[in-house]
Structure 1
Amino acid sequence: MLAALDAIPIPNLGGLSLLGNPWLDLALLLGAGVMAGIVNAMAGGGSFLAIPILIGLGVPPSTANGTIRVAILLQNATLVGAFHKNGVHAHKLSLRLAPPIMAGALLGSWLATRLDDELFRPLLGIILLLWAVILVIKPDRFLHPPDQERSPKPMTYALALAVGLYGGFLQSGVGFPLLALLSGHLGYDLVRANSVKASLIFAYTCLALPVFAFAGQVAWTPAFVLAAGTMGGAWLGVRWQLEKGASLVRWFVLVMVTVAGVLMLYSAFA
């Protein structure tokens, strides 16, 4: 069976391989993309599934951090369109928070491209360890928003700048602080918070991706394979949460912050 598949010409992953068979590598990357898209649409942390596979394929960690941005851009374009089509959005809030988060992401992505892998790898481990501690100590911080939606205050814009700085520097896990900002701080229900989260990540990735591309830190072939999966997963994630509502998202967030905390602890010490 595998020999027959090998006889069919398919796009390879730029000479990269993890499982020793191009079809299996392709299926693995697509499957990881679908799962990451669902996870990111519902909560966050999908990059913790995708980046290890990119690294396993032979992509250096700093390049994996840039490569994932292609999938993130197209995934969140899908999310924004799907949420808007179903009337779930908060455009005014998105427009107000976009400038600080984009400014932070531009600086963060520039800083990330200045580091070589010898510095980036241990720094990545430290960041993952800190995230793991935060998520394990109090995983429900995203699940209990204020009773009413709040208008942004100066602190909100400062927090958005900080989230953008983190997201530009390291994409992994940025959905969690964004949900904390939008739901825990501003009081938006989790479905609407996810719609705003998608629009903000899409906006700052439009700036961050060119920075990584200019630095040569994007592996384009696996990037587009991964993106095909994330777009499908994103569509499924929107459909499920619109059908089931905030209760499903709340459960999903609780599960993912726990899983992400464990994965980050493992990655930090691996």
Structure 2
Amino acid sequence: MVPSLLAAGPDWSALLGGLSLTGSPGLDVAIVLLVGALAGVINSMAGGGSFLLIPTLVALGLPATTANGTIRVAVLAQSGAAVATFHKREVHDYPLTKRLVLPMIVGALLGSLLATRLDDAVFRPVIGVCLLIWAVILLVQPDRFLNPPEQTREPDARTAALAAAVGLYGGFLQAGVGFPLIALLSVHLGCDLVKSNAIKVALVLGYTLIALPVFAFAGQIAWVPAGVLVIGSMVGAWLGARWQVAKGSSVVRWFVLIMVALGGALMLAPLVRSLFG
């Protein structure tokens, strides 16, 4: 019923540039919208939304390198929507954001330049290694993301170096960047989880503004499916930001814990299948 209703509308296949996941263009568009919305909620509340975005785009038929660039459009949109929502709710720390965004931009520029110079055949196993490392970190010590120190800490040279390292990773591979950002802001600096998320999305917005043109110049963005992802991502980010401001750090704590466990399990699944399949 759903596919037939969707297929009765406009030329849905054109909305994804002729790419297909299920063979039903209308259902494909609905799936991409839903995945974009889920990623928006996840990224605004914890991190790991790109673990959904990249596999979806690859399943549609995009090379991994292009999927890694395409998701930046959705990330830019969802970050902007989340920042606007947090600002409206008066949850932010712009002075701290300004101190961290420059080293993150420098790192992200280097990371994106590196990513756009790798062939797809090389980039796929690199993604696998990065996600495997994250799986181990997230599953072995999930509490590191949930227990900020009682005293806040002023950012110093070490903080700037850590921000640059996170930016380097985010510029290279967007997937999972929310987790080290939460660790930097919550565990290292002592921000509560809601404020950490507000600063996190502002920082991601800042470095994505620099990284996105690098991928665009390299021709590694599929703009048509990116536009569909943008719609879902903005709605999801708006909902996620409103929800955590209303519910406080407790709901974010549980959400992060769930995403850490789920993200780690999903990242380990392909390795398990390759070993025992």
Aligned to 1:6: 7
Residue by residue over 1:100-134, the C-alpha shift from the partner in whole angstroms, topping out at 9 and shown as x without a partner, is 00000000000000000111011111111111111
2:242 paired with 1:235: no
Distance (Å, rounded) in 2 between the aligned partners of 1:268 and 1:81: 39
Task: Give 4+ residue runs of structure 1 displaced > 6 Å after superposition.
Answer: none
User: Distance in 2 between the 1:156 and 1:4 partners?
Assistant: 52
Aligned letter for 2:49? Answer: G
Structure 2 partner of 1:210: 213
Identity %: 61
Shift of 1:236: 0.6
Matching residue of 1:80: 83
Write the deviation string for residues 130-157 of structure 1: whole angstroms up to 9, x where unpaired.
Answer: 1111111101101111112211011100
Q: Could you give the per-residue CA deviations for residues 44-63 of structure 1, whole angstroms, max 9, x where no partner exists?
A: 00011111111100011010
Other-structure match for 2:203: 200
2:32 is aligned, of 29, 39, 48, to 29
1:157 aligns with: 160
Counterparts of 1:56-205 in structure 2, within 5 Å, are 56-205=59-208
Counting matched residue pairs gives: 270
- 1:93, distance to aligned residue in structure 2 (A): 0.3
Asked whether the 8 Å contact 2:6–2:27 carries over to 1, the reply is no
Offset, 1:3: 4.6
In 2, Cα distance between equivalents of 1:267 and 1:216: 28
TM-score, with normalisation over the residues of structure 2? 0.95
* Alignment TM-score, normalising by the size of structure 1: 0.97
Question: Where do 5+ consecutive residues of structure 2 fail to align?
Answer: none
From the superposition, tell whether residues 134 and 5 of structure 1 become closer, same or farther in structure 2 (CA, over 3 Å). Answer: closer
Secondary structure at the aligned position of 1:59 is classed as coil
Give the letter for the 1:18 counterpart: L
Identify the residue that residue 263 of structure 1 maps to in structure 2. Answer: 266
Gaps of at least 5 residues in structure 1 are none
Contact 1:124–1:268 (CA<8 Å) still a contact in 2?
Answer: no
Structure 1 residues 230-262: Cα deviation after superposition (integer angstroms, max 9, x where no partner): 100001101110111000000000110111111
Counterparts in 2 of 1:4 and 1:256: CA distance versus 1, 3 Å: closer
Q: Is the 8 A contact 2:20 2:61 kept in 1?
A: yes
| Counterpart amino acid of residue 30 in structure 1 | L
